[in-house]
């Protein structure tokens, strides 16, 4: 074998080993997601991440990434509804206030990522169950006020974010 062929063979073996080491942990994912109220949604979220989940921290970070992406979509849909000429002033005002809460949640998601990265799982769970939950409920209250017409995309986006954080909180109660 030539030195070039040796190099290619060694590189191929290293790539194979790297892939084997970085493979997702399906047993862990099944255990954690299976204990949630929405195991299919939990598993789907984790399995669609570009980085495989090998440990508990990875699983939670994957769930937070899904929540972040749903928050970004919600922010865009809310902004479109605010800017729409067909949106009445009462609804526009409620959406504008809700949008501020969404921006807060996006920022707080970054803080959660930091806490989970440091394996401060109980602090992250406390944040989700506390002030993050309060901000989501605040958005529901604003959009449920008399005279407010909730745009369907905003409603479904808010529902997705609520589900994302509910699942994440349930998983955080299982990790150490």
- Give the model's pLDDT for residue 52: 85
- What's the pLDDT at 22? 53
- pLDDT of residue 62 exceeding 60, the answer is yes
- Alpha-carbon distance of 128 to 113, in angstroms, equals 12
Q: Which two tokens stand for residue 111?
A: 């803080």
Q: Which pLDDT does position 96 carry in this prediction?
A: 98
Q: Return the pLDDT at 2.
A: 64
| Residue range 143-172: mean pLDDT, rounded | 97
Q: What is the pLDDT of residue 53?
A: 82
pLDDT of residue 20 exceeding 50: no
DSSP letters spanning 16-32: HHHHHHT---HHHHHHH
Averaged pLDDT of the chain: 90
List of residues 6+ apart from 48 with CB closer than 8 A: 66
Give the helix/strand (H/E) hosting 74: helix 56-83
Judged against a pLDDT cut of 70, whether residue 16 lies above it is answered with no
Is residue 17 scored above 50 in pLDDT? no
pLDDT of residue 1: 60
For 100-111, write each residue's pLDDT tens digit.
Answer: 999 999 999 999
Burial track 30-68 (b if 16+ CB lie within 10 A, e otherwise): eebbeebeeeebbbebbeebeebbeebebbbbbbbbbbb
């Amino acid at each position: 074998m030539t030195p070039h062929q040796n190099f290619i063979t060694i590189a191929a073996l290293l790539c194979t080993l790297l892939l084997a080491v970085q493979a997702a942990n399906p047993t862990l994912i099944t255990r954690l997601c299976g204990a949630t109220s929405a195991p299919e949604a939990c598993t789907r979220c984790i399995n669609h991440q570009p980085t495989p989940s090998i440990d508990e921290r990875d699983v939670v970070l994957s769930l937070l990434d899904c929540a972040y992406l749903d928050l970004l979509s919600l922010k865009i849909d809310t902004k479109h509804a605010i800017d729409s000429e067909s949106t009445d002033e009462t609804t526009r005002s409620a959406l504008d206030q809700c949008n501020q809460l969404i921006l807060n949640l996006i920022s707080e998601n970054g803080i959660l990522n930091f806490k989970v990265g440091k394996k401060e799982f109980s602090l992250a769970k406390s944040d989700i169950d506390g002030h993050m939950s309060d901000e989501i409920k605040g958005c529901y209250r604003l959009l449920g006020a008399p005279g407010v017409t909730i745009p369907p995309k905003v409603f479904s986006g808010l529902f997705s974010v609520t589900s994302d954080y509910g699942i994440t909180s349930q998983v955080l109660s299982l990790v150490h």
